[in-house]
Chains A and B, each alone.
Chain A
Amino acid sequence: MWFLTHAWIIPALMALSFLCVLFFGKRLPRKGSEIGIVFVAAAFVLSICTAVAWQQHVNDSPKLKGTASAEQKEEVEGSAFVDVPEKCSPVAAEAAAKAGGAEAAAGGEAPAGEEGAVGVPSGTGEVAAVAAPAAGGGEKEETITRPVVRCVSWFDTDGAVVTIGTMVDGQAVLMLVVVTLISLLVHVYSTDYVNGDRRYTHYFAFLSLFTASMLFFVLSQSTLQMIVGWELVGVCSFALIGHWWEEKPNSDAALKAFLTNRVGDMGLLVGMIVLFFAAGKSFSILDINILSNEGEIRHTVLLAASVCLIAAVMSKSGQFVLHTWLPDAMAGPTPVSALIHAATMVVAGIYLVARLYPVFFDGLAIAGSSVNLLAVVGAVTALFGALLAFVQKDIKKVLAYSTVSQLGFMVTSLGVGAWTAALFHLFTHAFFKACLFLGAGSMSHACHHSFNMVDDYGGLRKIMPKTFWTYLIATLALAGVFPLSGFWSKDEILAGTGSFPGTSGANGTYHVMLVMLLLAAFCTAAYMMRTIWYAFYGEYRGHGHPHESGPRITVPLIILAAFGTIAGVANLPAAFDFLPAGTLTRFEKFVEPVGLYFPSISHAEFNAPLAVVSVAVGLGGIAVAYLFFWKGAFSGLRGLSERNRLAGWGKNVLVNKYYFDWLYTTVIVGFVKGPLARATYWFNQHVLDAIVNGAGRSGVAAGRFVYENIDQPVVDGAVKGVGASAEGSGGILRHIQTGRIQQYAALFFAAAAILAGIFVLVIG
């Protein structure tokens, strides 16, 4: 329990690490990297402890028999919040009080603090068990999730107390482990990879700051806190993409990332504002979720909020049409690409949707439907991102588009109601994609910092065996080959669409999504084999003599590849009942919340034919690529784009990335920065200012007229009106510049006297 209530220590550690590296790093023998590694290792250990504590917490949680009556259900679900302080979530506290009241009325013990929290569930469980009719003995049990929430008041405004704190549940714990583990490996990897870099210490400082911000984000107790974390990871991404800012393309990429994200942030801000008011002026995630889930917020409001937040997801998680920054973000150091732009930060959008899932589930009417915005965005991204990966020469760009595409899988998954599958895929993807990126980094480390696999790689299989094998394993995992981790998570997403004949238990029937995802899966396998062909087979085409990287690079690769292989066991399907019950559907049990703050989603069951199809599609992609590259088959396809106009046009569209960059950079940004800005400024100088100057000039003219024709005998320039004083003060100024202090003082008091005179005149 201590670990769950003190989770704030983990991001705080990393923030401290940032400060230490920044201020003392340069003076240390290893230039600050040792501080970063020690702190992130400590954070990782703490995260593991938190995960273990969470597991224990779930095992101790109240169980609800499927046969329990509505009152019992309400009581148990409400009692899950007895430990939530009232200021962190008034709504949850109210639900708990209601449950507590019912409990007391039923003769049970009234909950009192933490002791009571432990006492209640067992008592209630018994009540449910007693009440259950004998016939329901074999019914499924549900474990009600008890999120551990702690907060302090951040500030008060308008009667609402805005809080900051931690909300620990399965989802947050999952991310804690993923972020700290990948961050730790990336830290170690970086000590070799960016060794001797011009800004080595700053690099590690920003790694720490990023990790701190990301952990702050995932632990958020309020949506306002999420916004803060969301933007802070964005700025770290900006700083690290532009790490080598001396070269303009790098700083351009950094700016592009930041600005594109800002566009999405508009949606984030507006969406969060809508939810704030809808939940009765509360930023508390628990409040928003409970109210959305209980139907206390109107459907149209939830829809509006969902659409706004989807814009934010598009930018942060690289979804069409705001995905264009992510491939450019590869300008940053490769370990950063692995950590930020593949495994952690870019999944912030997924995490956001998952966190506020009741909003989306109701707002988009996910259940029982066959199409919605989230699913469409995800499926389009999954397929069209994968297609772009085919025309890249830069291996990191292939991986970047692959990330875009895989994030599309996760978004689709959330869109079709397969919440658990999305987070499961997030989990497995983090390992094999980080492995692929770090593998690409290892190759570039050997090949003169080039990422151009077509021109500078080749034949690395024999030279860099460790890199090759880990890369190959990660590729197969990404392609979804049984039994590697990617197979399990992808299959769960495909099943979640509910479209495949014979699938039961899905939330809707999303036929189009299934087709698009299968196509995307085929492409994924094929373009990944293409990278393997160019990088590892054939003859070496670059300069010099490449060599295998050192242990600080290869050990993280091996660890990641190992996780990429076995991570699938984290959520084996329930259908595998020949295995011990304790090994199945761990994600459903420990990560997915059950209770008032989460919609009751159903889970698509494992479908053997679909699994076969999914593996066949992956193997098909691999086979096609193998025949094409290794065996020289389909020779008719080679050079097709030169011979066939349609194919040429298609390739052009892909090479130009569907012309999104052109539209954004040239058309929109160009217009705003160029003609629009200039026109505005012209208006300012030649219209608004001209009016002011005209008024001034006519004042002077009028003053002169008065002075010369009417007022000449009475010489007193000071109270001559606007124009005269304007003209006069110029003269005075000229005088002042040559004058002495007495004159200034005299002038000042004279002016003050004139003002006083004006008062007396006006007032008297």
Chain B
Amino acid sequence: MTEFLNDWGLILITFLPLVGALVMILVPKESEDTHKLLALVTALATAVVGVLLLLNFNYSSAGELQFLVDHQWIEVINSRFVMGLDGLSLPLLALTVGIMPLVFVYSWNHIPEPGNPKAFFILMLVLETGMIGSFVAQDLILFFVFFEVVLLPMYFMIGVWGGPERKYASIKFFLYTLFGSALMIVAFIGVSYLSKTQTFVIPELTAFGGAGITKATQVILFGGMFLGFGIKVPMFPFHTWLPDAHTQAPTQGSVILAAVLLKLGTYGFLRIAIPVLPLGARQWAPVIGVLAVIGIIYGALACLAQTDMKRLIAFSSVAHMGFTMLAISTLTDLGFNAAVFGMVAHGLITGMLFFLAGSIKERYHTLEIKRLGGLLVQAPKMGWILGLCTMASLGLPGLAGFWGEFPAILSAYAPAVGLSVPLFRTLMVVAALGTVLAAGYLLWLYQRTAFGTPTEEFASDPHIHDVETPEWIAWTPLLILIVVFGFVPGLIFNVTQPAVSLIAGAVGG
């Protein structure tokens, strides 16, 4: 078993969803239930492989790449088919394979207009392959391919199954991200070309640590990657695609976007940009830190101005990812740990919030905050779940969100040697102010939607019912994880620590 996983585990988990999608192509469109079942079985099978990988992972050497796959690929450019799993990839891989089956379960009776589950599910499976591949790829070109594979299905999900403004939103999403990718690939090629062996393999490039590349060049190359990953995160001021994409995307799209896609950006910084170009990273760190903190405050203020629940949650992502980016910009162990925890926590919590927004929209046919109210009266269980997620999102200790936020603030007190301490301590205080604003917009949202009594419009609407079975199945694991990670943060910290300490060591922190 272990041997099989060592050789095939990562290939299997990456391409299993794609195989499922291919099988579904052969099934006629009319048998909708078959498609639902096939998609769910595929996602579950992928999750089972994920669990096997988790069980066979050697946690005592979580800093090393395990289940390593290394084959020849595009020989002419020295690009190899390398995949591997370490403590940095593991939580994100687990998040991805864990959340996808839940999305499929939720979709059981929530296929957005205009229907066509076959196409919808196939796109989601392709998306899953892209996301998993991005997290396990250990070659720049391979990573890039998976990174781009993610784009198209999401583009179609927004463009076909989205809201009234879907066309604008989907094109904006697609082009904006593509624009970043274009600069990123140029930077990748530059890095490879300037490296000693002209390789694209990430561990090799990390081992070089930018040796032989001058500081000035590193700064430029890092800039390219910064745009590519920064747009994906998204960092202020490149975030404007996000609220539109989130608001227009179908619930499933929003959940995946928030839970996994945004993490590709932050993951890219940790996996590629920082270890490969340490000198560039040190030069860019203050810029990233400042933009991150602007994002925290800016996102929070923008949230306060929102009238639409989904758009508010979307802007809150800008603020939350700001904490993650602040943590990354400190270039320390503590910061990187906080960042990975923040990614997972944000994935779970904001994913849950988008699920809830979707279910509320389905019942009320609107997400306009001032028309909602009294959710606790009409759908008490859903109201309680929303309350829990709100609390988690504002960083309440005892729930997962806290461990992404507090350590991020903590790490800014003592950034890596050579970074400006006064600057980062200022950023720390401003970021702490962000936690107050976060509590503000989230609690006001909760007060206006859940507290009080239902508005006249919906007071006797028979459509409004409490949580349904598919929703329970999809949500319960997320809710349990939010609480469990809140009390046992070591589940993530202890896995990521060995991996991120190598990166922090390489960048001199």
Contacts and interface: CB of A to CB of B under 8 A. Distances in A.
B77 interface: yes
B55 interface: no
A733 B489 CA distance: 44
The dominant DSSP class at the A interface is helix
Given A672-B304, A673-B304, A678-B305, A227 B118 contact: no
B436 A266 contact: yes
Ranked 4 nearest A-B pairs via Cβ: A155-B490, A677-B304, A681-B305, A228-B397
Interface stretch (A251-259, A344-352, A516-524): A251-259
Given A678-B305, A741-B29, A251 B437 contact: no
Question: Is chain B's binding surface mostly helix, strand, loop or mixed?
Answer: helix
B368 to A, nearest CB: 16
Contact of A681 (B174, B306, B414, B453): B306
Interface in B144-171: 145, 148-149, 152-153, 155-156, 159-160, 167, 170-171
Interface in B467-483: none
A570 interface: no
A262 B175 contact: no
A634 interface: no
Contacts of A251: 447, 451-452
Given A245-B376, A246-B451, A744 B489 contact: no
B332 A158 contact: yes
Given A692-B172, A692-B176, A270 B432 contact: yes
Contact of A269 (B77, B145, B435, B443): B435
A231 to B, nearest CB: 5
A745 interface: yes
A100 to B, nearest CB: 31
A138 interface: no
Nearest to B311: A681
Contact of A156 (B119, B153, B497): B497
B179 interface: yes
Interface in B438-463: 439-440, 443-444, 447, 450-453
- Most B Cβ at <10 Å: residue of A251, A252, A274: A251
Contact of A232 (B376, B397, B410, B447): B397
A157 interface: yes
B116 interface: yes
Contacts of B29: 740-741
Contacts of A689: 240
B197 interface: no
Interface residues of B, number: 83
A704 to B, nearest CB: 15
Interface in A154-188: 154-159
A692 B332 contact: no
A726 B160 contact: no
A737 interface: yes
A255 B173 CA distance: 36
B52 interface: no
Contacts of B453: 246
A158 B302 contact: no
Interface residues of A, number: 66
A644 interface: no
B464 interface: no
A393 to B, nearest CB: 26
Interface string A680-701: 1100100011001000100100
17 contacts: A155-B489, A155-B493, A157-B337, A157-B493, A158-B497, A230-B397, A245-B376, A246-B452, A246-B453, A262-B440, A677-B302, A692-B172, A692-B240, A725-B175, A729-B159, A737-B160, A752-B149
B152 A752 contact: yes
A23 interface: no
A232 B398 contact: yes
Contact of B398 (A157, A231, A248, A276): A231
Contacts of A684: 240, 298, 302
Given A689-B240, A740-B29, A733 B413 contact: no
A748 interface: yes
B355 to A, nearest CB: 22
Contacts of B174: 729
Contacts of A733: 159-160, 167, 170
B167 A730 contact: yes
Interface string A737-757: 100110011001001100100
Interface in B375-433: 376-377, 391, 396-398, 402, 406-407, 409-410, 413-414, 428-429, 432-433
A153 interface: yes
A158 B337 contact: yes
Interface in A219-241: 227-228, 230-232, 235
A131 interface: no
